[in-house]
Amino acid sequence: MRAVLGIGNPGKKYEDTRHNIGFIILNKFAEKHKLYFKPSKGEYFIAGSDFNASPFFLIKPATYVNLSGIAAKEFLDSYKVRLEDLLIVADDINLEPGKIRIRKSGGDGGHNGIASLIYHLQSDQFPRIRFGIGNDFEKGGMADFVLEKFSIEDQKIITPAINSTLEIIEQFLVSGLSTALNYFSKINKQSSTISKTTNNNEGN
């Protein structure tokens, strides 16, 4: 059994904001596979199903970002899912909008939600997808920036990246992290090839 936890803030006030890209992606995944989130007995909303005969769960914490680890701990304790089978989806200001990185483990990178997960799970050995939201803000403006909605230009950039992320999640749920990493590497190379081809054509 595998699970995906998206990091974000609950409530309509925060819908479609940069900090909520984890929720946005899980909502898109649920919509694609006709799933619905419902309240759990813990501090999270949950949706579950079988995907290619592989049972899985989607989790959205009911707490704010900096307390995301509470939901993760409650879920793992209740469903006995292994830490390596819990994939986290979070925003990253250190990546350009729409850039994706997937890692097996690591530190929090300055992200309060990831820091909460590490604290409550007492480990950083969980896979995560880091989804770039950019850092186009003045010094001291990060808090406001991450709580703003994506610009129209950013939406054009992140839409195909969201679709790629959905495919990576599908690979993870069916076959695990190694397959997801291989798939990410494949689409990353394709993206680089397309970019190089476009740049070469622009010079003609």
120 has catalytic annotation: no
Distances from the Cα of 101 to the Cα of 38, 105, 132, 202, angstroms: 29, 12, 8, 28
Structure tokens at 143: 């808090």
Distance CA 101, CA 98 (A): 10
CB atoms near residue 176 (< 10 Å): 16
Range list of H helices, 3-122? 21-32, 68-79, 112-121
Catalytic residue among 19, 33, 111, 120: 19
Task: Tell me the chain's radius of gyration from C-alpha atoms.
Answer: 17
Q: How far is CA 60 from CA 2, 43, 80, 114, in A?
A: 15, 9, 17, 14
Residue 135 structure tokens: 């850092």
Instruction: Let me know: does 1 contact 75? Beta carbons within 8 Å.
Output: no
- Active-site residues, by number, are 19
